[in-house]
Amino acid sequence: MPPLLEITGLCTEFHQKSGVLKAVRGVDLALEPGETLALVGESGCGKSITAASVMRLVPPPGRIVAGSIRFKGEELLELSEERMRDIRGNRIAMVFQDPMTSLNPVFTIGYQVAEGLRIHRALDRAAAEREAVAILSEVGIPAPGERMKDYPHQLSGGMRQRVMIAMALACRPELVIADEPTTALDVTIQAQILELLDRLMSENSMGLVLITHNLGIVAERAHRTAIMYAGEIVESAPTAELFAHPLHPYTRGLLASLPESGRPGEKLATFAGSVPDLRGELSGCPFFERCPIGDERCKGEKAGMTEAAPGHLVRCLKWR
């Protein structure tokens, strides 16, 4: 049986006047039904563009130039746009990072949540609105019947984010891609949303790709974690294994930067330098300039993925 989602050799580029920006460079990922895969890395590393590529929603002038994206064995990059519209929001849903730019300001909340139910589940208006009220309640929106009449600008940032999550979950998709889904929410609502996602995963064998900077959420929720840097996956492993035995210097640095309780006043670890310019070719390791253990070999030789332990992959010449 094929994985729920299988990405192989994905390359997504942006053709600009200043050159070709290679935002995603040969990404391989796989996700099983009922599994949570966390995608972690600093801003600009390609996480959101990877997600947009799966949805075939890469903004212009970006385009997918190579690779394969298979959903339950079906190649998404070969489907017609009409077929992709059937899949988006129905079988694969995405929670976008910025709800204010994703919600339509001229339609009510109720109309926008119910729209997917009418299109994909062929519900009449009354039934779709009843379902919409129920899902708004599930994501923790108070007085959901009243909020159905509101417009996006009338809600707080956290409320808008919950509406986006409600829209994504309305059709009970098989795969959800959540790009920083709880960033604008307080801790209590974060927990409610994550518990709701957990319940839907167990009820429907739903798969979840969780894009986040919050390593606490990753440690608690993700079955597997992939670390991304400069458009590449540099390490992936079962989450407990990754946190216990990080192998790539970038992963080690990320984990070392976490504040530890009981150690007040201690300085956090930081990375010197900055992410390399992704326009043009990188001859060696993209992390070389910031790496505490890199040498001349790393500067000129590109590492492939090595299986350091069962299920634990690392892209580094000096991981030992």
Lowest mean pLDDT among 70-74, 179-183, 247-251: 179-183
Strands across the sheet with 207-211, in order? 92-95, 175-179, 207-211, 36-40, 224-229, 232-238, 312-314, 306-309
Comparison of pLDDT for 29 and 159, the residue scoring more: 29
pLDDT of residue 86: 93
Both tokens assigned to 206: 């739903």
Q: In angstroms, what is the C-alpha Rg of the chain?
A: 20
pLDDT of residue 268: 72
67-76 mean pLDDT: 97
pLDDT, one tens digit per residue, over 87-110 is: 999 999 999 877 777 899 999 999
Dist. CA 88–CA 217, nearest whole Å? 26
pLDDT of residue 272: 79
pLDDT, one tens digit per residue, over 77-87 is: 999 999 999 99
- Looking at every residue in the chain, the average pLDDT score rounds to 90
209-233 mean pLDDT: 93
Dist. CA 320–CA 302, nearest whole Å? 16
pLDDT, one tens digit per residue, over 139-164 is: 889 999 999 999 999 998 888 888 99
pLDDT, one tens digit per residue, over 302-317 is: 899 999 999 999 999 9
> In this structure, is the dihedral angle defined by the CA atoms of residues 212, 213, 214 and 218, taken in order, positive or negative?
positive
pLDDT of residue 287: 93
pLDDT of residue 265: 67
Q: How far is CA 21 from CA 46, 227, 277, in A?
A: 11, 20, 8
pLDDT band at 138 (very low <50, low <70, confident <90, very high): confident
Per-position DSSP letters for 42-81, written without gaps between them: -TTSSHHHHHHHHHT-PPTTEEEEEEEEEETTEEGGGS-H
pTM reported for the whole predicted model: 0.92
Q: What is the DSSP letter of 110?
A: H
pLDDT band at 269 (very low <50, low <70, confident <90, very high): confident
Q: What is the DSSP letter of 288?
A: G
pLDDT band at 27 (very low <50, low <70, confident <90, very high): very high
pLDDT of residue 51: 96
36-41 mean pLDDT: 96
Comparison of pLDDT for 251 and 277, the residue scoring more: 251
Provide the H-helix boundaries in the chain.
47-55, 81-87, 99-102, 109-121, 125-138, 144-147, 157-169, 187-204, 215-221, 239-244, 249-256, 296-300
Dihedral pair phi/psi, residue 296, rounded to 5°: -60, -30
pLDDT of residue 184: 66
Comparison of pLDDT for 4 and 180, the residue scoring more: 4
Instruction: Examine the pLDDT at 261 and tell me if it is beyond 50.
Output: no
